[in-house]
């Protein structure tokens, strides 16, 4: 896994980790803590700006905003759990969106027949997915078969992918999509915003994948010790390729949501999200060293971050200030994780005396 | 091993008692609720070769750490040349001349031998110009003292482990006046010749008035190298003995507290057709023209020196090291084993000797470690693992068959003891329903006491019809455990032996001829 | 220039492999230079080369700091942000209170070092992965800068600051870069603290056991990176004659690419100033060659990324082949 932090003295005893199968409140302090913080934040902002914060409109707005970050966070979570990192998720999403946007705008006009629209949309979606798949495959192959450090590989792919996107568009925007697409970003399904539906579906799929599928178990084991997992008969190479392919597929879904919401696509969108996806993951209990993490934790931390973000927005904070707060929050999250591990180790030590 | 050392220490050196210059009196230490040491007294004489022996967890590491200043004792004193201390600091311990060489040697692989040896030059005043010639001179002086020659400009990472060990010893002597060198399991990775060379160096240290304490649980090592032996068990000192008062049996009994009855296996009388056949297997640079057969219920021992090719052969049988030529047949049918998955499908399992980094994924749960090799068999519809099947597998192998000591399988496997961890490894492989089980040095790092348990399990498996290939460095172990023994030397099988008819000494001669 | 792993003397196996990397790199650089000069006559002109050197001086200064961090086994993604913050602070102070070059460098070094030491303290005491800590501090520093300055640039830099200071035709930024590279090279090969840094990168546990002051080394290493970032920011302001808060953002990856191309390993313990220089030269020649051919600068990102991928893949592939060849004996 990425750069060692082993220069500081190692912690006393290994902290026991609850199984990935269940995320019960009592058994997992991370989840409990997150729920507590959510309640706290909601109360805090509710008190400060009750009229605007606790309105249904705000809730709706949050439910629309969260999914794009959420899906990207899922895209970051899977590589993190494998002991790696995917710095290229935003770039991949943007390129995918641009490909789809280009097809949609080039092949469709205001007077296109509905059947043509459906066909082109399908084509665009497939093309976008293919783009993401290619990036994911290249990344996965280099990481798995050549053994290059994921940070370096995804740094390279990020630069290259963004480079292609910028070059092809001269940095410009492609926009103007048919209503069907816009619905994916702005419509509701039974009252729930469509992006949120997509996000929840993705979250459930990833959760089930990581805890109940052979792929997920293998990825977690690889995250903790790739060699031992390989010696146990797991095809770690292909699993790692699968990790980055899965990550990229999620980037495609995020791309669809993003372009639907903004009605446009651009090479540099959402770049500030990169850090926040890592923040959400770490805050949500994903171990940056690999091997551990739960989708429920990620979901809750995203909810928390969204509440804070919306709250700040309503209070008139500049987006820059909010971003600075994210940076500080990450540091805080790491400090909390350290304290939590120490505390659990002490509990475990006491427990062994019984 | 003892009878093959070409130049044993002279009698005079062995019997001359030097003054006791380090004495630890009445040391007790607890960690949380665990008592690591209880009223342990341990003394070291000048220029002696002393072994601190005991199983893993007996407290020997803690005692050394107290001596080196890493821990402070709860009770007791440390006398350094008669002066009493309630505890030491690493700096104070080093100033007195105590140098510790850890098992991983703690060298810098990216720096040269000379720079590693003289690295202490850099520590006191970091903001100063490196005096390269002075460092080189220092390194050369130490090498001369020890009468060894090392390639000063080679990067340490490129050197074989025996050479690295010598570099570590040189570094220990390079600084302030060293009076005691402490080594942790020094012969763990050495070939026989390298052990001889190490021994010569230790004797040279002795000649220079430097004492050596080495920490070990390997009976062979202790009996070969030490002059005096102190045995610890469960945090208590069972006494200090001259090595000539001890033999393997006595030492084993002291360390484990058990008396072992070992008997040779009756000759295997199964008639079944071989489950595994190997003909003319070769891989350039590793082994050549290997023929062997393994029948159900048979335990075949494979012994040889380090580097003889045994593990390489085993990995080839497990699909992780495809051979250049030759044939492997399972149940009479030729197979191509290009991946370990293919081998597992053919019912071949391999227990690696490196349990810590290859056998288990330590931070993950016992449960996940158990099922990792059979995930595809537990998968049902929708490609998801069926919880009931998973639970059954774990219940059967962890709790019923191998009786791993734990109340839940959903805790990290690193919390278990070494012996229990090895049981989890066995559980994992047995869950794959193998017909051939290759055990590579299965008792390395397992306490002498727990070894018996492992071999009982192995016997039970053989009785059930598993064919077992037992690779080991411990000749006696193989002699008592196997139905048949093969000796491998420089990549070739040089002999097959019946344990009933061959002695340990004869086997040694064949191996080291 | 002395190799990283030697006390003196002829090459050993690992070091030959390393020399081979340097040699290969130098070879590629020469080949590219030849191709581009053949294809674009103006390439090898003195003027072009001098401009090229000047354009990449800032990168070279930042790369020096990053190299030291990488050798120690860590990574620093925040240096561009630190450069931006330090640059802005120093410029503001100079504009308001006046000063001279000594003060300018002093302040830039001080601010940069302080920001860097902050990184070190967080990494050490939180036992966190440097990549995550420095991504966080990068975001924090940069976002705070944008928030406080509202994105406004500083245009009215003092005349003495923007005056041309070329030394016999060599632009000031190049001089500073050369001095910085020299100091870094000396640090790494001739100062004990530099050797300790290599040791720390090679085996952190051993470094601790041998008595290295880990906290001190971390503070030094990240502080050095911050210091270099400060100097780089200052030189950048001098070059473009204004301070734009978000000018340096996004450069992190180019600098990392150059350093990694030059042979430094993300795992620590390996890297030289010479290699880094070659890495920068490679990127510079490539990008310049493309520009002279009229290729849009929008393509740089793609080309740089591709080079990174090819280079790290090739290195890893060669390492794997080497591993397979050496038969490893188990016990």
**DSSP assignment string, A99-133:** HHHHHHHHH--TT--HHHHHHHHHHHHHHHHHHHH
Please tell me the predicted confidence (pLDDT) of residue B428. 95
Q: How confident is the model at residue B258 (pLDDT cuts 50, 70, 90)?
A: low
Contact A71, A256 (CB under 8 A): no
Please tell me the predicted confidence (pLDDT) of residue C67. 97
Q: Chains contacting A with at least 3 CB pairs below 8 Å? A: B, C
Contact A233 B415 (CB under 8 A): no
Instruction: Express each pLDDT in B444-461 by its tens digit.
Output: 767 666 778 888 888 899
Our CA angle for B146, B188, B344, nearest 5°, is: 150
ipTM (interface pTM): 0.84
**DSSP assignment string, C241-297:** TSB-TTSSTT-HHHHHHHHHHTT--TTSS---HHHHHHHHHHHHHHHHHHHHTT--G
Helix, coil or strand: residue A36: helix
Instruction: Express each pLDDT in A151-164 by its tens digit.
Output: 889 988 998 999 89
Please tell me the predicted confidence (pLDDT) of residue B505. 81
Contact B252, B260 (CB under 8 A): yes
Contact C305 A318 (CB under 8 A): no
Partner residue opposite B110 with nearest CB, options C8, C269, C330 = C269
B20 phi and psi, to 5 degrees?
-80, 120
Instruction: Express each pLDDT in B35-47 by its tens digit.
Output: 888 899 989 998 8
Contact C6 B112 (CB under 8 A): yes
Contact A278, A103 (CB under 8 A): no
How close B159 comes to chain C (CA, Å)?
A: 9
Instruction: Express each pLDDT in C48-68 by its tens digit.
Output: 778 888 889 999 999 999 999
Asked if the model's pLDDT at residue A2 lies above 70, the reply is no
Asked if the model's pLDDT at residue A318 lies above 80, the reply is yes
Please tell me the predicted confidence (pLDDT) of residue B356. 80
A253 vs B402: which has the higher pLDDT: A253
Strand partners, B385: B379
Asked if the model's pLDDT at residue A279 lies above 70, the reply is yes
Partner residue opposite A221 with nearest CB, options B361, B376, B410 = B361
Across B229-254, average pLDDT: 86
> CA-to-CA distance for B170 and B150, rounded, in angstroms?
10
Instruction: Express each pLDDT in B378-394 by its tens digit.
Output: 998 888 999 999 999 99
- Residues of chain C below pLDDT 70: 1-20, 323-331
Which residues of chain A have a Cβ shorter than 8 Å from any chain B Cβ? 14, 16-19, 21, 208, 212-214, 217-218, 220-221, 224-225, 227-235, 291-292, 349-350, 352-353
Mutation site for A-interface testing, chosen from C140, C217, C218, C314 by largest number of A Cβ within 10 Å? C140
How close B115 comes to chain C (CA, Å)?
A: 6
Q: Chains contacting B with at least 3 CB pairs below 8 Å? A: A, C
Q: How confident is the model at residue A41 (pLDDT cuts 50, 70, 90)?
A: confident
Contact C305 A163 (CB under 8 A): yes
User: Which residues of chain A have a CB within 8 Å of the CB of C319?
Assistant: 147
> CA-to-CA distance for B197 and B203, rounded, in angstroms?
10
Contact B111 C199 (CB under 8 A): yes
A9 vs C309: which has the higher pLDDT: C309
Contact C198 B123 (CB under 8 A): no
**What's the token pair of residue B69?**
């200043």
How close B367 comes to chain A (CA, Å)?
A: 9
Across B264-273, average pLDDT: 74
> CA-to-CA distance for B67 and B24, rounded, in angstroms?
8
**What's the token pair of residue B101?**
């060489």
**DSSP assignment string, C196-240:** HHHHHHH-HHHHHHHT--HHHHHHHHHHHHHHHHHHHHHHHHHHH
| Average pLDDT over chain A, rounded to an integer | 85
Please tell me the predicted confidence (pLDDT) of residue B197. 84
C329 vs B370: which has the higher pLDDT: B370
Across A11-25, average pLDDT: 39
Contact C75 A152 (CB under 8 A): no
User: Which residues of chain C have a CB within 8 Å of the CB of B353?
Assistant: 330-331
Please tell me the predicted confidence (pLDDT) of residue C69. 97
Please tell me the predicted confidence (pLDDT) of residue C326. 53
- HSE of C8 in the Cβ direction (CA atoms, 13 Å)? 9
Please tell me the predicted confidence (pLDDT) of residue A4. 24
Please tell me the predicted confidence (pLDDT) of residue C12. 41
Partner residue opposite C12 with nearest CB, options B108, B119, B155 = B155
For the ranges A30-34, B115-119, B161-165, C148-152, the lowest mean pLDDT is seen at A30-34
* Placement of tokens 């197979």 in the chain: B335
> CA-to-CA distance for C169 and C166, rounded, in angstroms?
5
Beta strands in B202-340 (DSSP E): 211-216, 228-233, 236-242, 276-283, 287-294, 299-304, 325-330, 333-335
User: Which residues of chain B have a CB within 8 Å of the CB of C198?
Assistant: 108, 110-111
H/E element, B471 = strand B467-471
Across A202-228, average pLDDT: 95
**What's the token pair of residue B402?**
């191998």
Please tell me the predicted confidence (pLDDT) of residue B475. 82
Q: Which of A26-35, B17-26, B250-259, C208-217 has the highest mean predicted lDDT (pLDDT)?
A: C208-217
User: Which residues of chain A have a CB within 8 Å of the CB of C313?
Assistant: 142, 146, 148
Instruction: Express each pLDDT in B282-337 by its tens digit.
Output: 998 889 999 999 999 999 999 988 778 898 999 999 999 999 999 999 998 999 99
**What's the token pair of residue C197?**
């840094």
Contact A291 B364 (CB under 8 A): yes
User: Which residues of chain A have a CB within 8 Å of the CB of C309?
Assistant: 142, 153, 156-157, 160
Please tell me the predicted confidence (pLDDT) of residue C20. 67
Partner residue opposite C5 with nearest CB, options B111, B189, B286 = B111
Contact B317, B438 (CB under 8 A): yes
Cα pseudo-dihedral A213, A215, A218, A219, rounded to 10: -120
């Amino acid at each position: 896994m990425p750069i060692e932090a082993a220069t500081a003295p190692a912690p006393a005893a290994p902290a026991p980790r609850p199984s990935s199968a269940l995320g019960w409140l009592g058994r997992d302090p991370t989840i409990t803590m997150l729920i507590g913080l959510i309640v706290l934040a909601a109360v805090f902002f509710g008190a400060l700006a009750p009229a605007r914060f606790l309105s249904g409109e705000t809730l709706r707005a949050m439910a629309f905003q969260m999914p794009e970050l959420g899906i990207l966070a899922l895209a970051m979570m899977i590589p993190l759990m494998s002991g790696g990192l995917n710095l290229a998720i935003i770039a991949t999403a943007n390129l995918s969106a641009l490909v789809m946007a280009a097809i949609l705008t080039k092949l469709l006009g205001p007077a296109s027949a509905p059947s043509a629209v459906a066909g082109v949309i399908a084509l665009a979606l497939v093309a976008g997915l293919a783009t993401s798949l290619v990036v994911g495959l290249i990344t996965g192959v280099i990481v798995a078969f050549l053994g290059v450090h994921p940070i370096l590989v995804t740094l390279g792919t990020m630069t290259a992918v963004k480079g292609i996107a910028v070059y092809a568009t001269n940095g410009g925007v492609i926009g103007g999509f048919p209503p069907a697409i816009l619905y994916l970003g702005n419509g509701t399904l039974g009252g729930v915003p469509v992006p949120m539906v997509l996000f929840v579906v993705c979250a459930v799929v990833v959760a089930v994948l990581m805890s109940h599928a052979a792929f997920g178990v293998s990825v977690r084991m690889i995250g903790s010790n790739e060699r031992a997992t390989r010696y146990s008969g797991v095809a770690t190479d292909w699993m790692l390729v699968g990790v980055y392919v899965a990550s990229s597929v999620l980037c495609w879904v995020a791309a669809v949501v993003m372009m639907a919401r903004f009605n446009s696509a651009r090479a540099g969108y959402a770049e500030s999200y990169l850090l926040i996806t890592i923040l959400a993951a770490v805050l949500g209990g994903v171990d940056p060293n690999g091997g551990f993490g739960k989708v429920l934790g990620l979901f809750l931390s995203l909810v928390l971050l969204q509440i804070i973000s919306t709250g700040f927005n309503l209070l008139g904070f500049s987006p820059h200030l909010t971003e600075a707060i994210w940076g500080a929050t990450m540091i805080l999250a790491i400090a909390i994780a350290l304290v939590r591990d120490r505390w659990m180790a002490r509990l475990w030590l006491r427990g062994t005396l019984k | 091993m003892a009878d093959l050392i070409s130049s044993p220490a002279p009698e005079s050196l062995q019997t001359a008692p030097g003054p006791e210059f380090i004495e630890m009196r009445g040391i007790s230490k607890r960690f949380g609720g665990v008592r690591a040491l209880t009223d342990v007294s341990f003394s070291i004489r000048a220029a002696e070769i002393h072994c601190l022996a005991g199983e893993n967890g007996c407290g020997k590491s803690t005692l050394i750490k107290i001596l080196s200043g890493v821990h402070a004792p709860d009770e007791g004193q440390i006398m350094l040349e008669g002066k009493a201390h309630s505890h030491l600091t690493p700096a104070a311990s080093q100033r007195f001349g105590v140098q510790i060489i850890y098992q991983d040697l703690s060298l810098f692989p990216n720096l040269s031998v000379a720079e590693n040896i003289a690295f202490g030059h850099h520590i006191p005043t970091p903001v100063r110009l490196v005096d390269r010639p002075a460092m080189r001179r220092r390194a050369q002086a130490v090498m001369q003292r020890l009468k060894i020659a090392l390639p000063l400009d080679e990067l340490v990472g490129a050197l074989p482990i025996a050479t690295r060990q010598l570099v570590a010893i040189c570094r220990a002597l390079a600084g302030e006046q060293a009076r005691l060198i402490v080594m942790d399991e020094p012969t763990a990775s050495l070939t026989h010749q390298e052990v001889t060379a190490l021994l010569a160096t230790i004797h040279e240290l002795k000649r220079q008035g430097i004492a050596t304490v080495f920490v070990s649980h390997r009976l062979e090592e202790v009996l070969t190298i030490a002059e005096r032996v102190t045995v610890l068990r469960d945090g208590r000192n069972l006494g200090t003995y001259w090595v000539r008062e001890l033999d393997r049996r006595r030492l084993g009994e002291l360390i484990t507290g058990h008396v072992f009855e070992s008997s040779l296996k009756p000759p295997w009388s199964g008639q079944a057709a071989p489950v595994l056949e190997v003909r003319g297997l070769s891989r350039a640079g590793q082994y050549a023209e290997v023929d062997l057969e393994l029948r159900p219920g048979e335990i075949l021992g494979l012994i040889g020196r380090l580097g003889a090719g045994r593990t390489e052969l085993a990995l080839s049988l497990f699909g992780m090291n495809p051979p250049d030529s030759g044939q492997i047949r399972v149940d009479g049918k030729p197979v191509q084993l290009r991946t370990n998955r293919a081998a597992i499908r053919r019912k071949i399992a391999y227990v690696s000797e490196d349990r810590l980094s290859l056998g288990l994924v330590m931070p993950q749960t016992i449960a996940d470690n158990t099922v990792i090799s059979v995930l595809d068999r537990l998968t049902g519809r929708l490609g998801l693992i069926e919880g009931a099947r998973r639970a059954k597998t774990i219940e059967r192998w962890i709790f019923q068959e191998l009786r791993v000591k734990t109340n839940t399988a959903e805790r990290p496997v690193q919390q278990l003891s070494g012996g229990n961890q090895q049981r989890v490894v066995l559980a994992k492989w047995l869950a794959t329903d193998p017909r051939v089980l290759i055990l590579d040095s299965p008792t390395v790092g397992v306490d002498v006491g727990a070894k018996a348990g492992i071999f009982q399990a192995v016997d039970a498996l053989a009785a059930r019809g598993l064919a077992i290939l037992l690779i080991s460095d411990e000749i006696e172990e193989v002699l008592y455990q196997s139905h048949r023994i093969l000796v491998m030397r420089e990549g070739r099988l040089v002999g097959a032996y019946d344990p009933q008819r061959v002695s340990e000494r004869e086997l040694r001669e064949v191996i080291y001829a | 220039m002395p190799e990283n792993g030697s006390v003196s003397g002829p090459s050993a196996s690992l070091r030959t492999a390393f020399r081979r990397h340097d040699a290969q790199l130098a070879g590629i650089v020469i080949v590219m230079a030849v191709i581009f000069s053949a294809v674009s006559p103006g390439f090898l002109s003195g003027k072009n080369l001098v401009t090229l050197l000047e354009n990449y001086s800032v990168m070279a200064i930042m790369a020096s700091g990053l190299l030291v961090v990488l050798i120690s086994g860590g990574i620093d993604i925040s240096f561009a942000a630190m450069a931006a913050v330090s640059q802005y602070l120093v410029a503001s102070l100079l504009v308001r209170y006046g000063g001279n070059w000594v003060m300018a460098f002093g302040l830039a070094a001080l601010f940069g070092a302080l920001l860097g030491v902050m990184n070190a303290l967080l990494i050490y005491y939180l036992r966190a992965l440097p990549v995550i800590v420095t991504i966080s501090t990068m975001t924090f520093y940069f976002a705070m800068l944008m928030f406080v300055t509202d994105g406004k640039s500083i245009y009215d830099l003092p005349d003495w600051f923007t005056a041309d200071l070329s030394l016999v035709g060599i632009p000031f930024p190049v001089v500073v870069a050369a001095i910085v590279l020299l100091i870094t090279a000396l640090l790494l090969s001739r100062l004990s603290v530099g050797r300790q840094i290599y040791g720390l990168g090679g085996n952190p546990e051993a470094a601790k056991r041998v008595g290295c002051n880990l906290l001190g080394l971390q503070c030094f290493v990240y502080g050095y990176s911050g210091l270099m970032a400060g100097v780089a920011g200052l030189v950048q302001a001098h070059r473009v004659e204004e301070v734009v808060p978000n000018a340096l953002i996004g450069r992190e990856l180019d600098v990392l690419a150059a350093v990694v191309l030059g042979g430094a390993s993300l795992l620590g313990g390996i890297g030289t100033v010479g290699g880094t220089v070659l890495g920068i030269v490679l990127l510079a020649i490539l990008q310049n060659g493309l520009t002279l051919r009229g290729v849009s600068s929008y393509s740089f990102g793609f080309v740089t990324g591709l080079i990174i991928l090819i280079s790290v893949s090739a290195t890893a592939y060669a390492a794997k082949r080497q591993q397979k060849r050496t038969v490893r004996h188990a016990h």
